[in-house]
Amino acid sequence: MPAFHVLATPLDLEQLRACVLDPRAGGYASFEGWVRDHHAGRAVDGLDYEAYTMLAEREGERIVAEAKARFDVVDACCAHRVGTLAVGDLAVWVGVSAAHRGAAFDACRYIIDEVKQRVPIWKREHYREGDADWLHPMAENA
């Protein structure tokens, strides 16, 4: 399984977590990003994610490789949804295994922060008032 993938189907947490399980690892950290019901003081009913998939996966793979080298982790994986998501849906997942918890936490944070900054995935929020806005880069505490 690739270290980073863009999926149009719901994320399978059991399958994703299995990608980073390893007997050399003593620690595991993960991050789950869900669609929330508000942004910048506005009620959100849902959102759409779009990606330039080939470029997104290439840049995502680069980010995961950087984290593995920088933080001395055993393995790492990240998956991001595209398509229409409802409030509460899982939009992005990061998992990292390492010999020690500190490296796992640090690498996990690095991956999600870099994905939000560098990967060409765009978010269109649908507001309760009926309008919608495209947001990118996705670094605005999403």
pLDDT in tens, 2-40: 899 999 999 999 999 999 999 999 999 999 999 999 999
Amino acid at position 106, single letter:
D
pLDDT, residue 2, reads 87
Can you name the CATH fold of 4-132?
Aldehyde Oxidoreductase; domain 3 (3.90.1170)
pLDDT tens digits for 70-90? 999 999 999 999 999 999 999
Alpha-carbon distance of 20 to 74, in angstroms, equals: 8
pLDDT, residue 141, reads 46
DSSP string, the chain: --SEEEESS---HHHHHHTT--TT-SEEEEEEEE--SEETTEEEEEEEEEE-HHHHHHHHHHHHHHHHHHHT-SEEEEEEE-EEEETT-EEEEEEEEESSHHHHHHHHHHHHHHHHHHS-EEEEEEETTS-EEEE-STTTT-
pLDDT tens digits for 91-141? 999 999 999 999 999 999 999 999 999 999 999 999 999 999 998 654 444
Amino acid at position 47, single letter:
L
Residue ranges of the domains in the chain? 4-132
pLDDT tens digits for 43-71? 999 999 999 999 999 999 999 999 999 99
pLDDT, residue 139, reads 43
Name which residue leads in pLDDT, 134 or 1: 134
